[in-house]
Amino acid sequence: MKVMVIGGGAREHALAWKIAQSPKITGLYVAPGNAGTAPIAHNLNIRPNDIEALGKAAQDIGIDLTVVGPEAPLASGVVDYFEGLGLPIFGPTKAATQIESSKVFAKKLMQQYGIPCPNGITFSNYSEARKYLESQSAPVVVKADGLASGKGVTVASSKEEALKALSDIMEGRIFGSAGDSVLIEECLTGREVSLLAFTDGKTVIPMIPACDYKRVLDNDQGPNTGGMGSYSPPGFFNAELTRQVMKTILQPAVSAMAHEGMPYKGVLYAGLMIATDEPKVLEFNARFGDPETQAILPRLQTDLVDILLAIVDNRLSELTVEWNNDACVGVVMASAGYPGNYKTGFPITGLDKLDEEILVFHAGTKFGENSRVYTDGGRVLTVTASGKTMAEAKAKVYHNLPRIHFDGCHYRKDIAAREVN
Ligand code: AMP
Ligand code: GLY
């Protein structure tokens, strides 16, 4: 089988790494990939949003299965386009991707089908939204409707902050048309967990739970990022909670999508707040999470290609998905300045000095002079270790991280610390 992965981040490197382990694979391609995927796959110089070029490459090469990493090509309809060409592809259609690409759509779906979520009201008119927000008390959450690279949510601790966020979105249009509508939501407290599931539109199989860290600095300080680290499993999230989330959230969401005439196939990612009462949905994503995937896939025992094919062929019910009992910790190394402006092109050293069991998933990296690896983005690497306990996995990863270096590199020192201390 020839498989193509769309994307160039550490999530896609982890997907390619896992797919490469399948005995079914005769050819593996990543578009565009990075310096980490180059040794295990053919990197194709095609941007993830160039859907026509991706389709043409898949036809020319004779790709048997395409796997989509990021949300943008899903939201642009890459799955519909490939299916139109008769090319097998893993991921939801453009219509089904609305569960991530429109927070208003997702909220209405949850409200209509009784899926637990924070109370919220949607607006497409600025003065009405403002009037409503003025009647609310802080803390309150303001969300732009559309995709905003993870920056569209403001958890405002004062009303001024909330009003400014609303004005930035709807008047300042800082996210463009993604801010045509907004969602104003009650602020929940509790612990956040990501529970991802495989689904063929009917059968739903949960993955193992994971936590991610969105802020750039230790103790959740500083601005939000695309994720600075992840671990699996969170100790408090027991099998009973997984069963509850399956019953009250994941299965109802998949049934609701089918009922709405937009059958959902692929990975459904539930971003959850676990409060004292019941788990509630903060967001749905239509794909594997980044960096959760880098801490989840190392624990997968079942052949990932078998799972992906079973979903594409609507026979997920025939499969059992197995995980090991390890703990896994992944820490993101980022460029100086990230998540703001940063420079690239710095050599990365020490990748050959790591203990054997350390997995390094590349994101913004490329090969340069003398076949050395250079930085090529803000998020550069996810460095991952497994262990019998979280303490062991955490110790291994933090023992190895200082051996890797590039100018200005930084990473959080507290990933999984709350599980250990
Ligand atoms: P989202 O992109 O919707 O996941 O939001 C980004 C982050 O904002 C989440 O991971 C939470 O930390 C926070 N957040 C979103 N919605 C709420 C809410 N209703 N209450 C409290 N925090 C929230
Ligand atoms: N880890 C958050 C996301 O993938 O959107």
289 lines ligand 2 (CB under 6 A): yes
Indicate whether 104 belongs to any domain: no
Strands (E), 300-358: 327-334
Shared-domain flag, residues 35 and 71: yes
Identify the nearest ligand to the CA of 229 by its number.
2
Write out pLDDT tens, residues 116-133: 999 999 999 999 999 999
Question: Could you report the per-residue pLDDT of 134-164, keeping only the tens digit for each?
Answer: 999 999 999 999 999 878 999 999 999 999 9
Same structural domain for residues 214 and 233?
yes
Does ligand 2 lie within 6 Å of residue 227's CB atom? yes
Q: Whose CA is nearest to atom 15 of ligand 1?
A: 282
| 342 lies in some domain | yes
The pLDDT assigned to 149 comes to 82
**Do both 207 and 298 map to the same domain?**
yes
Average pLDDT over residues 215-241: 95
Which residue owns the Cα nearest ligand 2 atom 4? 289
Q: What is the pLDDT of residue 420?
A: 94
Over residues 265-276, mean pLDDT: 95
Give the model's pLDDT for residue 199. 98
How much is the pLDDT for 200?
Answer: 98
Q: Which of 297, 318, 339 is the last residue of a domain?
A: 318
DSSP string, 393-410: HHHHHHHHGGG-B-TT-B
Which CATH number goes with the domain that contains 394? 3.90.600.10
Per-residue pLDDT, 345: 97
Calculate the average pLDDT of the chain. Answer: 97
Nearest CA to ligand 2 atom 3: 289
What CATH code is carried by the domain that includes residue 314? Answer: 3.30.470.20
Specify the DSSP element, H or E, that contains 120: strand 120-123
Is the Cβ atom of 7 under 6 angstroms away from ligand 2?
no
Please name the residue that has the structure tokens 């290609």: 305
Residue 137 belongs to a domain with what CATH number? 3.30.1490.20
- Residue 235 has phi, psi (to 5 degrees) of -55, -40
Q: Is 283 in the pocket of ligand 2 (CB under 6 A)?
A: no
pLDDT at 40 over 90: yes
Residue 277 has pLDDT above 80, yes or no: no
Give the model's pLDDT for residue 37: 98
Give the relative orientation of helices 94-101 and 103-113 as an angle to the nearest 10 degrees.
90
Q: Is residue 370 domain-resident?
A: yes
CA dihedral (27, 33, 35, 38) in degrees, to 10, reads 10
**pLDDT value at residue 70:** 97
Structure tokens at 50: 């160039």
Q: Please answer whether residues 138 and 162 qualify as being in contact, where contact means their C-beta atoms are separated by less than 8 angstroms.
A: yes
Q: What local confidence, expressed as pLDDT, does residue 150 receive?
A: 78
Mean pLDDT (whole number) for 22-47: 98
Cα(153) to centroid of ligand 1, in Å? 7
Does residue 77 sit within a domain? Answer: yes
Average pLDDT over residues 258-270: 98
Percent above pLDDT 70 for the chain: 100
409 with 343, same domain? yes
Separation of 278 CA from ligand 1 center, angstroms? 16
Q: How far is the CA of 392 from the centre of ligand 2 (A)?
A: 25
**Mean pLDDT in residue range 370-383:** 96
Q: What is the number of domains present in the chain? A: 4
Q: Which of 15, 211, 269 to mutate to test the pocket of ligand 2 (most atoms within 8 A of CB)?
A: 269
Instruction: Say if ligand 1 is within 6 A of residue 163 CB.
Output: no
The pLDDT of residue 103: 96
Residue 100 Cβ < 6 Å to ligand 2: no
Q: Is residue 106 part of a domain?
A: no
Ligand nearest to the CA of 186: 1
Ligand 2 midpoint to CA 399 (Å): 26
Last residue of a domain, one of 180, 200, 227: 180
Pocket test for ligand 2, best of 216, 225, 285 (most atoms within 8 A of CB): 285
334 and 387 in one domain? yes
Residue 390 has pLDDT above 80, yes or no: yes
Q: Could you tell me if 352 and 391 lie in one domain?
A: yes
CATH of the domain at 40: 3.40.50.20
- Determine the 3-state secondary structure of 318 from DSSP: helix
Q: Pick the residue whose CA is nearest to atom 18 on ligand 1.
A: 187
Atom of ligand 1 nearest to the CA of 185: 19
- What pLDDT is stored for residue 151 in this prediction? 84
Query: Are 23 and 135 contained in the same domain?
Result: no
Give the residue numbers spanning the domain of 146: 125-180
pLDDT value for 299: 98
Residues 360 and 402 both lie in one domain: yes
Confidence of residue 275 (pLDDT cuts 50, 70, 90): confident
> Is residue 309 situated within a structural domain?
yes
Is 159 within a domain?
Answer: yes
Which atom in ligand 2 lies closest to the alpha carbon of residue 271? 2
- Contact indicator for 3, 282 with CB cutoff of 8 Å: no
Boundary residue ending a domain (318, 335, 353): 318
Residue nearest to atom 5 of ligand 2 (CA): 289
Residue 10 within any structural domain of the chain: yes
64/162 same-domain check: no
Same domain, 211 and 309: yes
Q: Tell me if 387 CB under 6 Å of ligand 1.
A: no
Q: What is the model's pLDDT at position 64?
A: 98
Report the nearest-CA residue for atom 6 of ligand 1.
153
CA distances from 49 to 68, 223, 345, 362 (A): 11, 27, 24, 20
Residue 228: pLDDT over 80:
yes
313 shares a domain with 241: yes
Average pLDDT value for residue range 368-387: 96
Q: CB atoms < 10 A from the CB of 52, how many?
A: 11
Using the predicted structure, report yes or no on whether residue 370 has a pLDDT greater than 90.
Answer: no
Predicted confidence at residue 241, as pLDDT, reads 95
**269 and 333 together in one domain:** no
- What are the two backbone dihedrals, phi and then psi, of residue 273, each rounded to the nearest 5 degrees? -110, 125
What integer is the mean pLDDT of 27-36? 98
Asked if residues 302 and 310 have their Cβ atoms less than 8 Å apart, the reply is no
Ligand nearest the Cα of residue 227 is 2
> How does residue 276 score in pLDDT terms, banded at 50, 70 and 90?
confident
